[in-house]
């Protein structure tokens, strides 16, 4: 087996330099802990960027992979296997949508959603409806790295090197209802949102903005598309983050699709298959009219192995009560972070839902330092949008793990405060 140094040297020579990796070689994991080559355990509060919903080495996943890999791993989409219909049933029941297309990743699911939208707008035009081809996306949005997804992603750094990007995308100021109204017209075929922006810094849409987006889209036949790739599949304590948004004036019962704002299209990926690559686009029966055989497809998407695991992930989440756990432990996590913020003024905001949590700091340098210091204390987190510490732990997280993380952050911020106070003291000594 190659050692870390050898791997680093080989990768530096052989791989495209897309990633700035931390110098750790991971070889195994158990529960919420991941283990390096020396047997050192790390508390994983990032779960492979929001993927490993059941943590590492969960017996339900391991057994399913073993069993299914002996039966079938891949067959293409030219034939039937058991997994897709079973998974589509589970997903449609839980999202309130009617039909599914399976992809391999988030960005591919998003591409599918964009293609579906343009096809649907074309269908509506053929039926005499006045509707254009423009997408309205949001400032700070992140939808992926392929061309359509990148073109609807806000940050210049992701788009600019690859220009020209896909035309027909306009960005609306985040949560700015007036800007949304001003930019919306019959030219628009879809409004694209994340109910809670992930990469953009764990920022939830306001109920007013979400409701207005739904209202405007419905008024012309445009679609409301909600990207749930990071926030969906139980991370926020509900199957989809949009299920936290009640329809203004509707009864408080949100157990059915009556009570919350329903998108026309949604996308899922990250935790969907517990670590195996799998994405999904879901849409209403109405929108599904736009797609016919041959218009869209994938060689690998929705393969037997990934679907079998996704089915078992959903069943396990329900059996182990992990949505309720995400809510309870997530609330506790935020409460502890807020208590920490009272002691450390460098924490300027704490926000999120369930186990999708942010602690925003007052400096990008400090955020970077905090991630590095957490790593030294064997805890994995990351930083997004420069100043935001992001926590996307596995859904099996327990309060004791939160306590460990909070104690580490407390130590780091205390040391930092002492250190930043020190230079002036030092200055006096020298003066
Ligand atoms: C909201 C959202 N959409 C899309 C993507 C792209 O997913 P993937 O990296 O699987 O292509 C991500 C990934 O971070 C995401 O957070």
Q: 115-160 pLDDT, tens per residue?
A: 999 999 999 999 999 999 999 999 999 999 999 999 999 999 999 9
- How many other C-beta atoms lie within 10 A of the C-beta of residue 100? 21
The pLDDT score that the predictor gives to residue 332 is: 98
Q: Are strands 356-361 and 347-353 parallel, antiparallel or unpaired?
A: antiparallel
Say whether pLDDT at 430 is over 50: no
Say whether pLDDT at 254 is over 80: no
Q: Is 52 in the pocket of ligand 1 (CB under 6 A)?
A: no
Please tell me what DSSP assigns to residue 174: T
Helix, strand, coil % in the chain, rounded to nearest 5:
45, 20, 40
- In angstroms, the CA 255 to CA 263 distance is 16
> Environment class of residue 77 by beta-carbon count within 10 Å: exposed (0-12), middle (13-18) or buried (19+)?
middle
Q: Which residue did the predictor score with more confidence, 426 or 358?
A: 358
Angle between helix 304-319 and helix 322-343 axes, rounded to 10 deg:
70
The mean pLDDT value for 69-93 works out to: 98
Cα–Cα nearest to 240, from 223, 260, 258? 260
The token pair at 186 is: 């019959």
Tracing tokens 């969907």 back to the chain, one arrives at 272
Q: Is 110 in the pocket of ligand 1 (CB under 6 A)?
A: yes
Alpha helices per DSSP H over 278-379: 285-288, 304-319, 322-343, 364-376
CB contact at 8 A, 353 and 204: yes
Over pLDDT 70: what percentage of the chain?
96
DSSP string for residues in 16-53: -S-----S--EEEEEBTEEEETTS-EEEESSHHHHT-T
- How many other C-beta atoms lie within 10 A of the C-beta of residue 413? 22
Q: Which atom of ligand 1 is nearest to the CA of 227?
A: 1
Q: Is 154 in the pocket of ligand 1 (CB under 6 A)?
A: no
pLDDT tens for each residue of 7-53 = 999 999 999 999 999 999 999 999 999 999 999 999 999 999 999 99
Say whether pLDDT at 187 is over 60: yes
Say whether pLDDT at 341 is over 80: yes
pLDDT tens for each residue of 219-252 = 999 999 999 999 999 999 999 999 999 887 776 5
Cα–Cα nearest to 226, from 262, 184, 202, 251? 262
User: Which of 165-169, 259-263, 299-303 has the weakest average pLDDT?
Assistant: 259-263
The pLDDT score that the predictor gives to residue 259 is: 85
The pLDDT score that the predictor gives to residue 422 is: 76
Q: What does pLDDT average to over the chain?
A: 95
Q: Is 385 in the pocket of ligand 1 (CB under 6 A)?
A: no
Cα–ligand 1 centroid distance for 108 (angstroms) = 9
Q: Which atom of ligand 1 is nearest to the CA of 110?
A: 4
Cα–ligand 1 centroid distance for 60 (angstroms) = 25
Q: Which atom of ligand 1 is nearest to the CA of 199?
A: 16
pLDDT tens for each residue of 262-300 = 999 999 999 999 999 999 999 999 999 999 999 999 999
Omega of the bond leading into 290 within 30 degrees of 0 (cis): no
User: Nearest C-alpha to atom 4 of ligand 1 is from which residue?
Assistant: 143
- Residue 100: strand, helix, or coil: strand
CB contact at 8 A, 180 and 206: no
The pLDDT score that the predictor gives to residue 253 is: 52
Q: Is 227 in the pocket of ligand 1 (CB under 6 A)?
A: yes
User: Which of 95-104, 151-160, 248-257, 359-368 has the weakest average pLDDT?
Assistant: 248-257
The pLDDT score that the predictor gives to residue 248 is: 77
The pLDDT score that the predictor gives to residue 251 is: 61
Cα–ligand 1 centroid distance for 105 (angstroms) = 8
Q: Is 271 in the pocket of ligand 1 (CB under 6 A)?
A: no
Q: Is 111 in the pocket of ligand 1 (CB under 6 A)?
A: no
The pLDDT score that the predictor gives to residue 227 is: 98
Q: Is 194 in the pocket of ligand 1 (CB under 6 A)?
A: yes
Q: Is 158 in the pocket of ligand 1 (CB under 6 A)?
A: no
CA 10, 12, 14, 19 dihedral sign is: positive
- In angstroms, the CA 233 to CA 228 distance is 8
Reported as a pLDDT band with limits 50, 70 and 90, residue 426 is: very low
The pLDDT score that the predictor gives to residue 258 is: 54
Cα–ligand 1 centroid distance for 81 (angstroms) = 27
For a substitution probing ligand 1, which of 137, 198, 200 has the most ligand atoms within 8 Å of its CB? Answer: 198
Cα–ligand 1 centroid distance for 140 (angstroms) = 13
- In angstroms, the CA 87 to CA 307 distance is 6
The token pair at 276 is: 């195996």
Q: Is 229 in the pocket of ligand 1 (CB under 6 A)?
A: yes
The mean pLDDT value for 390-396 works out to: 98
The token pair at 86 is: 């079973």
Q: Which atom of ligand 1 is nearest to the CA of 149?
A: 4
The mean pLDDT value for 59-79 works out to: 98
User: Nearest C-alpha to atom 10 of ligand 1 is from which residue?
Assistant: 106
The pLDDT score that the predictor gives to residue 424 is: 57
């Amino acid at each position: 087996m190659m050692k870390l140094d050898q791997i680093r040297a080989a990768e530096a020579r052989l791989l495209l330099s897309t990633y700035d990796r931390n110098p750790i070689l991971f070889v195994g994991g158990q529960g919420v802990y991941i283990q390096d080559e020396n047997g050192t355990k790390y508390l994983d509060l990032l779960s492979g960027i929001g993927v490993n919903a059941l943590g590492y080495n969960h017996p339900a996943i391991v057994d399913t992979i073993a069993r299914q890999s002996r039966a079938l791993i891949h067959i293409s989409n030219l034939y039937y296997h058991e997994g897709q219909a079973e998974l589509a049933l589970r997903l449609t029941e839980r999202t309130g949508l009617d039909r599914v297309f399976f992809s391999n990743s988030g960005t591919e699911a998003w591409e599918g959603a964009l293609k579906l939208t343009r096809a649907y707008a074309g269908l509506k035009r053929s039926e005499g409806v006045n509707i254009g081809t423009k997408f309205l996306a949001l400032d700070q949005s992140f939808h992926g790295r392929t061309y359509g997804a990148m073109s609807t992603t806000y940050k210049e750094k992701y788009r600019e090197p690859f220009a020209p990007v896909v035309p027909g995308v306009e960005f609306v100021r985040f949560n700015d209802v007036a800007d949304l109204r001003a930019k919306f017209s019959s030219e628009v075929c879809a409004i694209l949102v994340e109910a809670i922006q992930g990469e953009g810094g764990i920022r939830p849409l306001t109920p007013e903005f979400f409701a207005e987006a739904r209202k405007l889209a419905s008024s012309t036949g445009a679609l409301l598309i909600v990207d749930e790739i990071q926030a969906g599949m139980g991370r926020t304590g509900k199957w989809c983050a949009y299920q936290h948004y009640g329809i203004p004036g509707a009864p408080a019962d949100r157990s059915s699709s009556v009570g919350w704002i329903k998108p026309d299209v949604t996308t899922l990926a990250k935790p969907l298959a517990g670590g195996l690559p799998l994405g999904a686009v879901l849409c209403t029966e109405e929108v599904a009219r736009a797609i016919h055989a041959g218009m869209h497809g994938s060689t690998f998407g929705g393969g037997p192995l990934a679907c079998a695991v996704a089915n078992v992930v959903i069943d396990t989440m329900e059996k182990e009560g992990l949505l309720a756990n995400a809510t309870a432990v997530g609330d506790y996590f935020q409460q502890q972070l807020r208590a920490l913020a009272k002691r450390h003024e460098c924490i300027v905001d704490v926000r999120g839902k369930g186990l999708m949590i942010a602690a925003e700091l007052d400096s990008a340098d400090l955020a970077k330092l905090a991630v590095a210091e957490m790593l030294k204390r064997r805890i994995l987190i990351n930083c997004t949008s420069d100043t935001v510490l992001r926590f996307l732990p596995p859904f099996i997280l327990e309060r004791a793990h939160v306590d460990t993380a909070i104690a580490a952050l407390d130590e780091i911020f205390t040391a930092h405060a002492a250190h930043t106070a020190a230079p002036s003291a030092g200055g006096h000594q020298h003066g």
